[in-house]
Amino acid sequence: MTKQHTILYLDGVSVAFDGFKAISNLSLTLGRNEMRAIIGPNGAGKTTMMDIITGKTRPDIGDVYFDGVHDLTRLDEADIANLGVGRKFQKPTVFEMHTVEDNIALSLKSPRGVFAALFDLRSAEAQGRIDDILEMVRLSARRGEKAANLSHGQKQWLEIGMLLAQDPKLLLVDEPVAGMTDAETEETGRLLKKIAQTHSVIVVEHDMHFVRELDVKVTCLHEGSVLSEGSLDFVSSDERVIEVYLGR
């Protein structure tokens, strides 16, 4: 796949913290409207990879391109977010003191200037978008409540809803079903698949049942680089992957 046809293109990326190589020579590409699951043991570099894509961490070396043209190593978090990269954290992070509706409203794609925000009056169109998203993440009924009062699973959904409100092209979703009930997990899987119809998605997940349910290409990371890539069956039968997970 050439760079122009990818939504995300990482080539030869390395980063070290005080000598510890968190990512080493990582190369990975993601097509438009593709959903990819990333697995790997703790310390494989999954979160650091997300940090690099979203501009939180600068790679020491290597190329990171978004949508074939945008060099992400030169941009900061806000720029990258506004280009259309949404990120859900491992630990659900929402604006706890605001209502569910305000959480979505603050994330909604809009001019990001200070004075635009100061004089912003919510348009009917924006309200329509908010309603749609709340419907999609099944939080319409709790729209007036403070986000702090939501359950863990509902916060995960709210965060996904906030990502959608940004109208991103690429969503990075870190452990979306951690701490969810089975029913919630199933619901989340359905939601992500629906999102993937119109967006590119990277899902980092430990739950293999969930990954199987997603039924997408899987990339296994280990010690900061790609260990194996392919269907879940292929990856899970890869000798090296088994070794890493089971420590044989």
Partner 1 sequence: MIAARLLKNGIDRRIAATIALLVGAAVLVPVLHLAVPESSPFHIPAHAVVLFGKYLCYALLALALDLVWGYCGILSLGHGAFFALGGYAMGMYLMRQIGDRGVYANPVLPDFMVFLNWKELPWFWHGFDQFWFAAAAIVLVPGALAFGFGWLAFRSRVTGVYLSIITQALTYALLLAFFRNDMGFGGNNGLTDFKDILGFPVQAPATRAALFAATALALAAFIAVTAMVVGSKLGKLMVAVRDAESRTRFVGWRPEHIKLFAFTLSAVMAGIAGALYVPQVGIINPSEFAPANSIEVVIWVAIGGRGTILGPILGAMLVNWTKSWFTAALPDFWLFALGALFVAVTLFLPKGVIGMWDQWRAARRSRVDGVVPAIGTQPRQSLGTEAAE
Partner 2 sequence: MTISAPKYPASPTILVAALLAVLTLVVFAPSVRADEAVVRAGLAKFATAKGFGEVEAAVRELAATGDPAVSKPLAALSEGNLYVRKSDAAVFIATSNGETLSLADPLTGAEAGTAKAGEMAKVRVNNAVRGAIRAVSGSLTLGSGDAGVRLAAANAIFSRPDPNTIDALDAAIAKETDATVKARMQIARSSSVLASDRSDEEKSAAIKLISGLGSREALNLLTSFQSNAPDRLKEEAASAIRSINGTLMAWDVAQNVWYGISLGSVLLLAAIGLAITFGVMGVINMAHGEMVMLGAYTTFAVQEAIRATAPGLLDYSLIAALPCAFVVAAAVGIAVERGIIRFLYGRPLETLLATWGVSLILQQAVRTIFGPTNREVANPSWMSGGFEIGQLAITWNRLWIVAFSLAVFALLLLISNRSAWGLQMRAVTQNRRMAASMGIRTPWVDAFTFGLGSGIAGIAGVALSQIGNVSPNLGQGYIIDSFMVVVFGGVGNLWGTLLGAMSLGIANKFLEPYAGAVLGKIIVLVLIILFIQKRPRGLFALKGRAVEA
For position 172 contacting partner 2 by CB under 8 A, the verdict is: no
Task: Tell me the window of 23-31, 37-45, 73-81, 226-234 that interacts with partner 1 (CB under 8 A).
Answer: 73-81
Contact positions with partner 2 (CB under 8 A) in 39-98: 47-48
Selection from partner 2, partner 1, none that 227 binds (CB < 5 to 8 A by kind) is none
Contact positions with partner 2 (CB under 8 A) in 1-20: 17-18, 20
Selection from partner 2, partner 1, none that 200 binds (CB < 5 to 8 A by kind) is none
Task: Tell me the window of 17-25, 33-41, 81-89, 227-235 that interacts with partner 1 (CB under 8 A).
Answer: 81-89
Among 8, 10, 13, 22, which residue sits at the site for partner 2 (rule: CB under 8 A)?
A: 22
Distance (Å) of CA 220 to CA 104, 190, 240, 244: 33, 23, 10, 10
For position 229 contacting partner 1 by CB under 8 A, the verdict is: no
Is the Cβ–Cβ distance between 70 and 83 less than 8 Å?
Answer: yes
Q: Which residues contact 97 (CB under 8 A, 6 or more apart)?
A: 146, 147, 148
Selection from partner 2, partner 1, none that 18 binds (CB < 5 to 8 A by kind) is partner 2
For residue 47, give both structure tokens. Answer: 């979160």
Of 109 and 217, CB closest to partner 1 = 109
For residue 97, give both structure tokens. Answer: 């003191």
What residues are paired with 173 via a beta bridge?
Answer: 88, 203
Is the Cβ–Cβ distance between 174 and 204 less than 8 Å?
Answer: yes
For position 82 contacting partner 1 by CB under 8 A, the verdict is: yes
Summarize as ranges the residues that interact with partner 2 (CB under 8 A): 17-18, 20, 22, 47-48
